[in-house]
Amino acid sequence: MDAQKITPLLGGMSPAEFMRKHWHKKPLLVRQAIPGFEAPIPREELFELAAEEGVESRLIQQKKKGWSMDHGPFDPDSLPSTKTRDWTLLVQGVDLHNASARALLDQFRFVPEARLDDLMISYATNGGGVGPHFDSYDVFLLQAHGKRRWRIGRQRDMTLVEGMPVKILANFEPEEEYVLEPGDMLYLPPRWAHDGIAEGECMTYSIGFRSPQRDELARETLLRIADALGDSDGSPIYRDPKQEAVEAPGQVPAELQAFAREGVMRALAQSGIVERALGEALTEPKGNVWFDPPQEELDLQVTGVDLDRRTRMMYDDAHIYINGESYRASGRDAKLMHKLADQRGLTAKQLAGASEAAISLLENWFDDGWVREASVI
């Protein structure tokens, strides 16, 4: 992706300019970000997705007494009638299930893949919305079908209405108001208050980002480092030839504490250990993701390869990460794999000079369903 190239998606700005001026800083309304956009996923298909086990969906309704939230899967017959007003169905991770949704998400890969989360689709009947709230992550709200009236504000008072199943701001102070039509898009930085109300039947696509907490990342990386330590043989055994007889046997010896602390320090001091564990954690597929092995054998050097839409692939200077696994890579093979991660595909031409090791890795990933035959465009 060319970071300097002006694009209608960002209102005639380049990704570089958008990141400098708006990302994390101020909202951006883009009229016709995707000119003539037509929702690629019809209502019925969305309802079918919401009926599936392993697809995260929620039904939010505003009733006289307040808000209600139910979790899917939802049998399409169990949803309120599309003629009833004031309800919203949210379907998370649609990019995992639908190629057009994945392609749409790919348009936002001017932000590192490690930060991209998913494409959520909301369907609402007239008057529907999820209430005034703020999110802790950046979001692009792309209007896909019908109209939605957004009110947004910087909001200082973050007090929430108590006892609600959804986060609702008690004292929402909107500053601006826009009605979005299909193809229009609104970018909001984290913690900007917003309230979107459907004007007639409406579908909105949210391109959401991962905003991990430091402790959460620490936990995930430490768990992986701990797992890897479990396999290590030949680590020194504690010895205490100078231990004296004690009268307080309950007390932990300071030498044993120092020995354990040294173990922790040494484990974390291994070069690249945190980066490697992080790369594996970042590419770990979500719990509801599984891959379909291929039906036929193919010569990948003839067909080229694409990453399966569910595959997460990233890299750093020393490693390639794919779906929770890490591989050391350097030289030509590393360059090729970086290209695969960046472009989510390699042409037959790009694979022509690949090493045997690289091809065999790709074949393994093909057998796992992580990569597939390149689609002909």
**Taking the complex as a whole, how short is the minimal distance between the CB of residue 372 and Co ion, in angstroms?**
34
**Taking the complex as a whole, how short is the minimal distance between the CB of residue 327 and ligand SIN, in angstroms?**
36
62, 122, 125, 323: which one binds ligand SIN (CB under 6 A): 122
Residue 373 contacts residue 308 (beta carbons within 8 Å)? no
Is residue 92 at the binding interface for ligand SIN, with CB under 6 A as the rule? Answer: no
Is residue 308 at the binding interface for Co ion, with CB under 5 A as the rule? Answer: no
- In the complex with Co ion, the residue whose CB is nearer, 177 or 255, is 177
E strands, 38-138, are 57-63, 66-71, 87-91, 116-124
22, 102, 194, 312: which one binds ligand SIN (CB under 6 A): 194
Q: Which entry of Co ion, ligand SIN, none binds 57, CB below 5 to 8 A by partner kind?
A: none
Is residue 139 at the binding interface for ligand SIN, with CB under 6 A as the rule? Answer: yes
- In the complex with ligand SIN, the residue whose CB is nearer, 119 or 346, is 119
The CB-nearest residue to ligand SIN is 122
**Taking the complex as a whole, how short is the minimal distance between the CB of residue 152 and ligand SIN, in angstroms?**
10
Residue 167 token pair: 């986060």
Residue 33 contacts residue 10 (beta carbons within 8 Å)? yes
118, 135, 184, 195: which one binds Co ion (CB under 5 A): 135
15, 146, 196, 279: which one binds ligand SIN (CB under 6 A): 196
Residue 297 contacts residue 366 (beta carbons within 8 Å)? no
**Taking the complex as a whole, how short is the minimal distance between the CB of residue 141 and Co ion, in angstroms?**
8
User: Rounded to an integer, what distance in angstroms lies between the CA atom of residue 21 and that of residue 15?
Assistant: 10
Helix (H, G, I), strand (E, B) or coil at 90: strand
Tell me the backbone φ, ψ of residue 325, rounded to 5 degrees: -110, 155
**Taking the complex as a whole, how short is the minimal distance between the CB of residue 205 and ligand SIN, in angstroms?**
8
Burial annotation 324-350 (CB, 10 A radius, 16+ → b, else e):
eebeebeeebbebbbebbeebbbeeeb
- In the complex with ligand SIN, the residue whose CB is nearer, 188 or 314, is 188
Helix residue ranges, H only, 231-321 = 254-269, 273-283, 300-303
Q: Which entry of ligand SIN, Co ion, none binds 204, CB below 5 to 8 A by partner kind?
A: ligand SIN
Contacting residues for 347 by C-beta, under 8 A, at least 6 apart: 304, 374
Contacting residues for 171 by C-beta, under 8 A, at least 6 apart: 157, 159
Rounded to 5°, the CA angle 52-143-55 comes to: 15
User: Rounded to an integer, what distance in angstroms lies between the CA atom of residue 276 and that of residue 70?
Assistant: 38
Is residue 135 at the binding interface for ligand SIN, with CB under 6 A as the rule? Answer: yes
Is residue 146 at the binding interface for ligand SIN, with CB under 6 A as the rule? Answer: no
Is residue 101 at the binding interface for ligand SIN, with CB under 6 A as the rule? Answer: no
Is residue 204 at the binding interface for ligand SIN, with CB under 6 A as the rule? Answer: yes
Name the site residues for ligand SIN (rule: CB under 6 A): 88, 122, 129-130, 135, 139, 194, 196, 204, 206
